Chains A and B, each alone.
Chain A
C-alpha cells in the first residue's frame, strides 16, 4: 500500500511539475521578450497620436490657440503649453502662465525651433513623474508665432500594460487548473497499470504463480503487460516441465527395490530413495545430511568407502546390519561422472541379499550335511566289513556284534535315504495324499501308545489333554500320524529324565484344529528358531545325531503341514522347554474334499 501511494505520488508530482514549469516558462518568455515590445508599441502609439494632435494644433493661429487652450487640452487628453518665440509661457492648460519659467531651453522646444517638431521624454519636476513632451512651432506666413507643446504622463502607458498583463495572468491561471486536473488523470492512467504490473512482478519474485494481467490498452504499457504475461507463462511452462521431469525421475528412483543414496563432497548423504529407507527402516531425518557411518555404523562399509576413495574404482562390498535379524546388503560404491553439478559425488546402491544368502547357506549346509550323514554310517559299514574280510576275527560273538553294527548303520543309511525321498516327494508334490475324515483323538492315542515305552525308558511323563469330542477334519491319516510321531519323538529326546511332555488339542481355533506338544526340555535358542525347518539343520552340531535322528524330521513335518494347508509354529525358551503348535485346517487343504 505504501509503495503504491509513493509511486503514484512520485509520478503525479513529476507530471504536475512539468506542467508548472511550462507555465512559468511561458511567463518568463513573455516577461523578457514580449514586455519591452508591448511597452514600445504602446508608447510609440501614444507619441504618434500626440505628435498628430500637436501638428494639427500648429495649423491654428496663436490667438486661436490661446482662446481655446482649455478645450483643446480636454480633447487631446494632454496638457497643453503655449510658448512665445522668446520662450515665455503664454498659457498652460493646467497651470497659471506667469508662474512658469522660460521654456526656450527645454530640449523639445529647442528641437522645434530648428526642425519645427521636437520630442522628449523627461522627468517632470512639476508633476514628479516621467512625461512625454512634443513641441511644434506655430508659424504664420513663415513667421514664427510661438510654440505649442503637449505633455502627457507615461504612467498611463504602464497602466495599460498592467491591464494587459492582468488579463494574461488570469488566462494562465484559468489554464493551470485544468492542467493540474489533467496531470492527475494522466498520472493515474499511467501509474495504475504500472502499479499492477509491479505487484505482479513482486509476486513472481516471491515465488508465487499469479494469474496473468489483463492488457486493456495497445500503448507501450499495454505491450509491456503482454510481454510480462508471455514471460510469466513461459516460466510457468518451464517449471511445469521441470517438475514433471523431476517427478518422473523421482518416481523411478523411489520405485526401485534397491536402496540408492548419493554422497556429496563432504561425505554427507544428500539424496536417497524410499527403497533405502524401507530397507534400513530409518526416518528421513535420520538419513539426510548424515555420513554413511552415522547411518549404517558398518565397519565393512566404511572400509570399502575408504578403499574407494583411495582407488576410485567401483567397489562391491557385502555388509551385515543388525544383530537380531541380520540384514545382509550388497553395497555397490561408484563415482557419479558426466553429470554437471554432481562432481565429486559418490553413489551407493544397496541390494538386499539376505534371502539369497540364506538360501546359499542352506544349500551349502545341505550338501555338507548329506555328505556327512551318508559318510558316517558308510565308514562304519566299510570299517567293520573290512575287519571281517581280513579274517582276523574268529570269535562268533564278536563277528555277530560287528555284523549287527554294520547292519544298524546300513539301516540308518536306508532310513536317511527314505527320509530324503519322502521329503523330495512331498516337495515335488509326487507324494499321493489320501484325504479322509480323520479322528484326531484316535491318532493322538495311537501315537501316544507307540511312544509310551520310549518315554518310560527316559522317565518322562506323557500327558494327554484331549477334549471330547474333537471335530473331525480332512487329512491323510498316515501323514498326520507321521507328523505327530516326529514331533513327539523330538520332545521326548530333548527332555531330560524326570520331565514332562504334554499333548493338548483344541477343536476350533479360527478354522484350525490345533495340536500343541509342549515339553520341559532344554529348549532352543532364539536365533535358531527360524532355521529349524531346514534340512539337516541342528541347533547344536551333535545334539540330534547323538540321539539318532537323521536331521530331516522337522523338515518333513514342515512340508507335510504345508501339504495339508496348515502350518507349524515353534516357541521356545532355552532351559525351560519348547512348545510345537500344529495348525490343521478343519476343512482340509483347499480342494481336498473333491479328491478321491
Chain B
C-alpha cells in the first residue's frame, strides 16, 4: 500500500488513517487480552475492572473507523484494490470490536472467579491466550505488509487453539466429576477458555479478510489444510 499513489492527497491520507486506526484498535484489543489473562493469573480484580472500562475506547474507535470507511465509500467511490481494502477494513473493524467485547467477558468471569479460591494453576489457558493474541498481531502484520503467506499461517494457527480448548475442557471435566464443589469455578474457566477460542476464531476471520483483500479470493469457508492439499499451494 505504500507504493500506491492517488491524485488526491486527502484520499491518500484518509486511507492511511483507516489503516492506522485499525492498527491502534488491534493494539488495544491485544492489550485487553493480555491484561485480562494477567488479571486471571494474578487474581487481580482491579485490573479486570480496568479492562472492562477500557472497552469504551475500543467501541468509540470502532464507530470512527466504520464511519470513515462508509464516508470513503460514498465520497470517493473507490474501485478495485481500494474498494477491497475498505470493505476488508469494515470487516476487520467488526472482528476487532468483538474481540474487545470478549476481553470484557473474560474479565467479568475473572472477577467472579476471584471471589473463590483458585481451582488449579493455569498452564494451557495463558498459552492459548498468547497464541490468540499473537494471531491478531500477525493478521494485522499480514494486512500491513500484504503478506498472504503470513495470513495463511494465522488461519492454520486457529486449530492449535481449538485443540487446546478441548484439552482444557476435558481436564476441567475430571475436576468436576471428582468434586462437585468445583463445578461453578470450572464452568467459569471453561467459559473463559471458550471465549479465548472465539477470539482466535475472530483472528482467523481477520486473516481470511486479508487473504481476500490481497488475492481477491474468498477463503472464509475453506479450511486452511484443504488448500495445502491443492496443487500449486505447497508450503515451503
Distance to closest chain A CB from B143 (angstroms): 11
* Inter-chain contacts of A289 with B (CB < 8 A): 2
- List residues of B (124-151) whose CB comes within 8 Å of A's CBs: 126, 130, 133-134, 137, 140, 144
Q: Contact partner of A525 among B27, B28, B123, B133, CB < 8 A? A: B123
Contact A302 B144 (CB under 8 A): no
Q: For the complex, give the distance between the alpha carbons of A575 and B127 in Å.
A: 14
Query: B27 contacts A294, CB within 8 Å?
Result: no
Among B20, B24, B30, B31, the most chain A Cβ lie within 10 Å of the Cβ of B24
Is B23 close to A, CB under 8 A?
A: yes
Distance in angstroms from B136 CB to nearest chain A CB is 10
Given known A299-B31, A300-B31, contact A294–B130 (CB-CB < 8 A): no
Is B34's beta carbon under 8 Å from chain A?
yes
Can you list 18 A-B contacts with CB-CB less than 8 angstroms, sorted by A residue number? Answer: A267-B20, A289-B2, A291-B20, A291-B23, A293-B23, A293-B27, A294-B144, A297-B23, A297-B27, A297-B30, A298-B27, A299-B27, A299-B30, A300-B31, A323-B34, A525-B126, A540-B121, A575-B123
Q: In the assembled complex, which residues on chain A have CB atoms less than 8 Å from the CB atom of B26?
A: 297
Q: How far is the CB of B191 from chain A (nearest CB, A)?
A: 22
Interface residue? A77 (CB, 8 A): no
Q: Which A residues are CB-close (under 8 A) to B126?
A: 525
Q: Which residues of A contact B123 (CB under 8 A)?
A: 525, 574-575
* C-alpha spacing A445/B24, complex, angstroms: 61
CA distance A302 to B24 in the complex (A): 7
Residue of A nearest to B120 (CB): A540
Assuming A297-B26, A299-B28, what are 13 further A-B pairs, CB within 8 angstroms? A289-B2, A291-B20, A293-B24, A294-B144, A298-B27, A299-B24, A299-B27, A300-B31, A323-B130, A323-B134, A525-B126, A574-B123, A575-B123
Closest approach, in angstroms, between the C-beta of A135 and any C-beta of chain B?
Answer: 102
Report the bound CA distance from A289 to B34 in whole Å.
Answer: 29
Residue of A nearest to B17 (CB): A267
Closest A residue to B27 using CB positions: A299
Contact string against B for A residues 562-587, beta-carbon threshold 8 Å, 1 for contact and 0 otherwise: 00000000000011000000000000
Taken together as a complex, chains A and B put the C-alpha atoms of A293 and B121 apart, in Å, by 35
- Contacting residues, chain B, for A267 (C-beta < 8 A): 20
Chain B residues within an 8 Å CB radius of A293: 20, 23-24, 27
B31 → A minimal CB distance (Å): 5
For chain B, which range describes its interface: under 10, 10 to 19, 20 to 34, or 35 or more residues?
A: 10 to 19
Task: Name which residue of chain A comes closest to B23, CB basis.
Answer: A293
Query: B28 contacts which chain A residues (CB < 8 A)?
Result: 299
- B-facing residues in A265-292 (Cβ within 8 Å): 267, 289, 291
Chain B min CB distance to A526 (Å): 9
Question: Taking the nearest CB of chain A, how far is it from the CB of B48, in angstroms?
Answer: 17
Residues on B with C-beta less than 8 A from A298 are: 27
Who on chain B is nearest to A323 by CB? B130
- Across the A-B interface, the 8 shortest Cβ-Cβ residue pairs: A299-B27, A299-B28, A293-B23, A299-B31, A302-B24, A574-B123, A297-B27, A540-B121
B30: which A residues are within 8 A, CB to CB? 297, 299
Residues 534-550 of chain A, each 1 if its beta carbon lies under 8 Å from chain B, else 0: 00000010000000000
Interface centre among A293, A294, A574 (most CB of B within 10 A): A293
- Taking the closest CB of chain B, its distance from the CB of A507, in whole angstroms, is 37
- Chain A contacts for B31, CB-based, 8 A: 299-300
Residue of B nearest to A301 (CB): B27
- Collect the chain B residues with CB atoms within 8 Å of residue A525's CB: 123, 126
The distance in angstroms between the C-alpha atoms of A354 and B123, with both chains bound, is: 25
Given known A294-B144, A540-B121, contact A323–B24 (CB-CB < 8 A): no
**What does the 1/0 interface line of B1-45 toward A look like (CB < 8 Å)?**
010000000000000000010011011101100100000000000
CA distance A293 to B140 in the complex (A): 11
Closest partner residue, chain B, to A525 (CB atom): B123
A294 with B23: CB separation less than 8 A: yes
Quick check: B121 and A297 within 8 Å, CB to CB?
no
Do the beta carbons of B137 and A297 come within 8 Å of each other?
yes
A350→B150 CA distance, assembly (Å):
30
A299 and B126 CA atoms in complex are apart in Å by 20
Tell me the complex Cα distance, A325–B68, Å. 37
Contacts of B121 in A (CB 8 A): 540
How many angstroms from the CA of A299 to the CA of B24 in the assembled complex? 6
Tell me the chain A residues, 90-144 only, with Cβ under 8 Å from chain B: none
Complex: chain A residue closest to B28, CB-CB: A299
Interface residues of A in 311-337 (CB under 8 A from B): 323
The distance in angstroms between the C-alpha atoms of A297 and B30, with both chains bound, is: 9
Identify the closest chain B residue to A542 (Cβ): B118
Q: In the assembly, what is the distance between CA of A302 and CA of B26, in Å? A: 11
In the complex the two chains form, what is the Cα distance from A267 to B19 in whole Å? 13
Q: In the assembled complex, which residues on chain A have CB atoms less than 8 Å from the CB atom of B20?
A: 267, 291, 293
Residue pair A323, B133 in contact (C-beta under 8 Å): yes
- What per-residue 1/0 map shows which CB atoms of B86-126 lie under 8 Å from chain A? 00000000000000000000000000000000000101001
Q: Which residues of A contact B27 (CB under 8 A)?
A: 293, 297-299, 302
A289 to B1, CA, bound (A): 13
Q: Which chain B positions have C-beta within 8 A of A574?
A: 123
- For the complex formed, measure the closest distance between the CB of B54 and the CB atoms of chain A, giving whole angstroms: 9
